[in-house]
């Protein structure tokens, strides 16, 4: 039961990921609300990773400004920086700890934006600290320091533009107001420069924000595709397992129904044969004899069909048992030739034999090998037109095994139909039109039986030139001849006598 539960869990997770990704992609508004959480989380991570950087910069600015401003005011300003920075970092840490499904993005974004605004106002207040002297160097230092902070805050908050505005606009506004109060052309120029730099940074950050949103869209599309593939694979695997279970159940059912199907059919065959042969006296009406003959022939055809279905079912269910014994592949081929020769002659066909001499026996199931040979030979005779030729060949293989090959001059099989004829109940279209019908089980049974022996099945066919089928038994099934033991009192072979003489000589 563990496997089905895990599979159902995987399906649910895949479905949730697909649903979430589709929900994200369903939004097409300008604000991209579907990615607000990811964008805000990026800002939070940036802020937490640089939690110490900007306070240290504030310390540097305070130390540098002491040359032009009151140390007491700078110390108070520095304390305010630490407090507002602590508030911002604390909110970011709280946000990072809340599970995503419990986050109200709009509320948290408002809180963090307010904290960023307070932090920006605190930084902007450094511009209004009373200078001890009206030296231009002091204002230039503060101007440069604030611009550096503006650029840093824009870089950290670029994923959420409202936070960018809240944190940087107070600083730029403070510079403009402070330099306007001084009412000097030089400071007016610096104020205009601050505004221009701020607008340029805003333009850069807007482009960067669009790039980040596009990246998130691509990632959502990728997650949706992966989720759909996982979902489709899970559905496909489930359907395949059900099909395999149904096919196995069918095969087991047919295999266990062997006696139930054959018993009544054997009775029908027996009684119809008695009636056909008029064992208890002639019929008063000759038509009854013809009917009895038709019943017997139909029963024989049905019995053959049942046997083939049961064979293929046992093979598919893995319940076909091989009864192996040393057999001669050549003798079985000759026997099948004798059985099918009359049928071939009645159709005007010629069967050529090509058997290698002195082939050793092979370990195999005699009934299965005979069925293989009869199926292939019957197919060749069935689909070969009159005056055609069928070649029956038994030979050694290069690796020491043995192969049975049957080649005909029939209509052949198109390449695209070969997989079909190797499936159960599959038949080629051209062969079906030009020859007598069949069950479509001969080749699948042959393939299954030879594979049970560890052998191989090879079918080659060319349209309008014929078909060649080769079944091969591996070398491991060949029974090698053992050396003959000498009878009591028999003279030892020459090689053994020489060996004994050599041993005696060494011993002496």
Report d(CA 156, CA 106) in Å as an integer: 19
- List CB contacts of 292: < 8 A, sequence separation 6 or more: 272, 273, 275, 276
Q: Which CATH architecture has domain 324-477?
A: 2-Layer Sandwich (3.30)
Per-residue model confidence as pLDDT tens digits over 339-376? 889 889 999 999 999 999 889 999 999 999 999 998 89
- Predicted local distance difference test score (pLDDT) of residue 1: 42
- Candidate from 288-292, 317-321, 351-355, 404-408 with smallest mean pLDDT: 317-321
DSSP state string for 244-294 = HHHHHHHHHHHHHTHHHHHHHHHHHHHHHHHHHHTTTS--SSHHHHHHHHH
CA 338 vs. chain centroid, Å, equals 51
- Cα separations (Å) of 49 from 54, 80, 93, 116, 317? 11, 21, 11, 16, 63
Average pLDDT, rounded, for the chain: 81
More confident residue, 384 or 442: 384
Q: Is 351 exposed, middle or buried (0-12, 13-18, 19+ CB in 10 A)?
A: buried
The model's confidence at residue 17, banded by pLDDT at 50, 70 and 90, is low
- Predicted local distance difference test score (pLDDT) of residue 3: 45
Per the structure block, which two tokens stand in for 348? 């005007």
Report d(CA 227, CA 155) in Å as an integer: 34
Measured between its terminal Cα atoms, the distance across the chain in Å is 77
Which residue in 311, 464, 332 sits closest to 406, CA to CA?
332
Radius of gyration of the chain from its Cα atoms, rounded to whole angstroms: 46
Which residue in 252, 276, 264 sits closest to 302, CA to CA?
264
Q: Once rounded to an integer, what is the mean pLDDT over residues 62-77?
A: 84
Per the structure block, which two tokens stand in for 90? 């604390």
Q: Once rounded to an integer, what is the mean pLDDT over residues 259-272?
A: 80
Strand order in the sheet with 389-396: 350-355, 389-396, 402-408, 466-473, 456-462
Q: Once rounded to an integer, what is the mean pLDDT over residues 141-150?
A: 88
Report d(CA 356, CA 166) in Å as an integer: 96
Which stretch, 170-174, 402-406, 494-498, has highest mean pLDDT? 402-406
Q: Once rounded to an integer, what is the mean pLDDT over residues 114-138?
A: 83
Per-residue model confidence as pLDDT tens digits over 96-109? 898 888 888 889 98
The model's confidence at residue 27, banded by pLDDT at 50, 70 and 90, is very low
- List CB contacts of 405: < 8 A, sequence separation 6 or more: 391, 392, 393, 394, 395, 468, 469, 470
- Predicted local distance difference test score (pLDDT) of residue 434: 54
- Predicted local distance difference test score (pLDDT) of residue 504: 47
Where are the domains positioned within the chain?
A: 2-231, 258-317, 324-477
Report d(CA 262, CA 90) in Å as an integer: 84
pLDDT at 428 over 90: no
**Are the CB atoms for 120 and 169 separated by under 8 Å?**
yes
DSSP state string for 139-177 = HHHHHHHHHHHHHHHHHHTTT-HHHHHHHHHHHHHHHHH
Per-residue model confidence as pLDDT tens digits over 195-204? 998 899 889 8
Long-range pairs, 268-274, Cβ under 8 A, ≥24 = 268/295, 268/299, 269/296, 269/299, 269/300, 269/303, 272/296, 272/299
The model's confidence at residue 436, banded by pLDDT at 50, 70 and 90, is low
- Predicted local distance difference test score (pLDDT) of residue 494: 44
- Predicted local distance difference test score (pLDDT) of residue 493: 46
Could you list the beta-strand ranges (E) of 341-493.
350-355, 362-365, 389-396, 402-408, 456-462, 466-473
**Are the CB atoms for 42 and 163 separated by under 8 Å?**
no
Share of the chain above pLDDT 70, in %: 82
**Are the CB atoms for 386 and 349 separated by under 8 Å?**
yes
Report d(CA 367, CA 336) in Å as an integer: 12
- How would you classify the pairing of strands 362-365 and 324-327? antiparallel
């Amino acid at each position: 039961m563990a496997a089905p539960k895990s599979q159902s869990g995987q399906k649910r997770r895949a479905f949730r990921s697909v649903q979430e990704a589709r929900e994200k992609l369903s939004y097409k508004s300008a604000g991209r609300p579907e990615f607000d959480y990811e964008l805000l989380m990026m800002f939070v991570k940036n802020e937490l990773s640089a939690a110490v950087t900007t306070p240290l910069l504030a310390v540097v600015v305070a130390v540098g400004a002491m040359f032009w401003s009151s140390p007491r005011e700078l110390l108070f300003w520095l304390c305010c920086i630490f407090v507002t920075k602590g508030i911002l970092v604390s909110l970011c840490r709280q946000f990072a700890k809340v599970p995503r499904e419990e986050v109200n993005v709009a509320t948290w974004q408002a809180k963090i934006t307010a904290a960023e605004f307070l932090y920006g106002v605190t930084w902007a207040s450094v511009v209004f600290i009373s200078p001890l002297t009206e030296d231009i160097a002091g204002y230039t230092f503060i101007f440069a320091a604030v611009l550096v902070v503006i650029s840093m805050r824009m870089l950290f908050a670029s994923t959420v533009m409202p936070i960018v505005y809240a944190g940087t606009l107070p600083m730029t506004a403070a510079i403009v107001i402070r330099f306007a109060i001084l009412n000097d052309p030089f400071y007016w120029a610096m104020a205009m420069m601050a505004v221009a730099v701020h607008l340029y940074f805003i333009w850069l950050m807007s482009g960067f924000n669009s790039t980040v949103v596009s990246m998130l869209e691509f990632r959502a599309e990728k997650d949706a595709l992966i989720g759909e593939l996982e979902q489709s694979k899970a559905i496909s695997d489930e359907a395949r397992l059900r099909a395999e279970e149904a096919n196995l159940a069918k095969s087991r059912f047919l295999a266990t129904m062997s006696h139930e199907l054959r018993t009544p059919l054997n009775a029908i065959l027996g009684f119809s044969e008695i009636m056909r042969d008029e064992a208890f006296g002639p019929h008063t009406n000759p038509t009854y004899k013809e009917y009895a003959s038709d019943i017997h022939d139909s029963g024989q055809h049905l019995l053959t069909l049942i046997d083939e279905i049961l064979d293929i079912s046992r093979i598919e269910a893995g319940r076909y048992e091989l009864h192996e014994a040393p057999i001669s592949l050549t003798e079985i081929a000759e026997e099948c030739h004798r059985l099918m020769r009359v049928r071939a002659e009645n159709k005007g066909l010629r069967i050529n034999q090509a058997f290698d001499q002195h082939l050793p026996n092979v370990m195999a199931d005699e009934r299965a090998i005979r069925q293989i040979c009869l199926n292939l030979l019957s197919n060749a005779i069935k689909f070969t037109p009159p005056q055609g030729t069928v070649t029956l060949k038994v030979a050694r293989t290069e690796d020491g095994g043995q192969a049975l090959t049957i080649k005909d001059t029939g209509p052949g099989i198109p390449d695209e139909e070969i997989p079909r004829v190797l499936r159960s109940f599959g038949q080629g279209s051209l062969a079906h039109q030009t020859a007598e019908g069949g069950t479509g089980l001969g080749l699948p049974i042959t393939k299954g039986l030879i594979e049970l022996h560890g052998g191989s099945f090879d079918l080659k066919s060319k349209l309008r030139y014929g078909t060649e089928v080769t079944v091969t038994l591996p070398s491991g099934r060949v029974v090698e001849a053992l050396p003959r033991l000498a009878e009591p009192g028999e003279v030892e072979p020459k090689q053994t006598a020489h060996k004994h003489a050599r041993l005696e000589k060494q011993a002496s």
